[in-house]
Structure 1
């Protein structure tokens, strides 16, 4: 009987790991499609991608538009404006279930919402303002959000 229980537990674990693997694959595929779509939409160059990868705020319009498109895809920007709830949803997995960090993330969202004033900015500046706010204020809430300003 004990051996049978062990078999069921193993089957459960294998099925769940397959589901997780499928979810991760779908997420990677979705991200790849989003990156491709945003690259085409923004006209971003390889250098623009490298700036984002090295946590620098892009200095070119195409780089800023790439970042803004990615934020739109993550629902951090909605209708051209900062979406606090979308930011919280997008960054929640990075908090790894830590209730204290989740509370601080919510406070950070409120701070950025206040600083950005729910304005729709031109020339792909909304994404830049969001990243600057997160980087500037993240440490105040015990959240390390790194970036390098050019």
Structure 2
């Protein structure tokens, strides 16, 4: 749900531009050049995180389809994405930065930013007392995803992002169809 990082966050994947939807079920115009630029940055960040945490195709698919991760590497993939955007730094969520990043794409008074302002605070409660960086980031991200469903990543774009990941660098025994990577 959240389309994030690098001026977006893994989280910003869910809080991108609020314009007439071109995909069914979403309120984001994924054809907008500004949004496309953020998506490209998000994919580059994800490629780096795949290598850093040795994420699997299932881990990345879960992230991009806003599903809770089912593996430790999936949780750590979410952590990597949020840390690369500085939304999480040393185990602390920077809500102000998250909201600022969302406002760059959506505008300060947009519906996305207003909703994110309250939801991001609610999600802080879900991670209170957590010290494990992967669990903390994953839980926070899951909370955002569950509460901002209308900004979801369309499945076809999620699958396209997964196809661009360099899994062949971390998992040499993957089937050929999953090894393809377009950089």
Deviations 1:120-149 (A, max 9, x none): 52161012221232245x36xxx73559xx
**Larger relative CO (CA 8 A, sep 6+): 1 or 2?**
2
Between the two proteins, the alignment pairs up a number of residues equal to 121
Contact 2:79–2:137 at 8 Å: present in 1 too?
yes
Match of 1:75 among 81, 86, 100: 86
Describe the shift of the 1:32–1:134 C-alpha distance in structure 2 as closer, same or farther (beyond 3 A): closer
Corresponding residue for 2:52?
A: 41
Unaligned runs of 5+ in 1: 1-19
RMSD: 3.3
Equivalent-residue separation in structure 1 for 2:86 and 2:130 (angstroms): 15
Equivalent-residue separation in structure 2 for 1:22 and 1:105 (angstroms): 20
TM-score calculated relative to the size of structure 2:
0.52
Matched, 1:57 2:82: no
Describe the shift of the 1:91–1:45 C-alpha distance in structure 2 as closer, same or farther (beyond 3 A): same
Describe the shift of the 1:24–1:65 C-alpha distance in structure 2 as closer, same or farther (beyond 3 A): same
Equivalent-residue separation in structure 2 for 1:40 and 1:129 (angstroms): 22
- Structure whose alpha-carbon radius of gyration is higher: 1
SS at match of 2:107: coil
Match of 1:128 among 130, 135, 138: 138
> What aligned pairs does 1:19-34 form with structure 2 within 5 A after superposition?
27=38, 30-34=41-45
Contact 1:81–1:120 at 8 Å: present in 2 too?
no
TM-score calculated relative to the size of structure 1:
0.61
Corresponding residue for 1:108?
A: 119
Match of 1:144 among 147, 150, 169: 150
Structure with the higher helix share, 1 or 2: 1
Describe the shift of the 1:80–1:123 C-alpha distance in structure 2 as closer, same or farther (beyond 3 A): closer
Contact 2:53–2:76 at 8 Å: present in 1 too?
yes
Deviations 1:78-112 (A, max 9, x none): 11222211221333356x33725233322222222
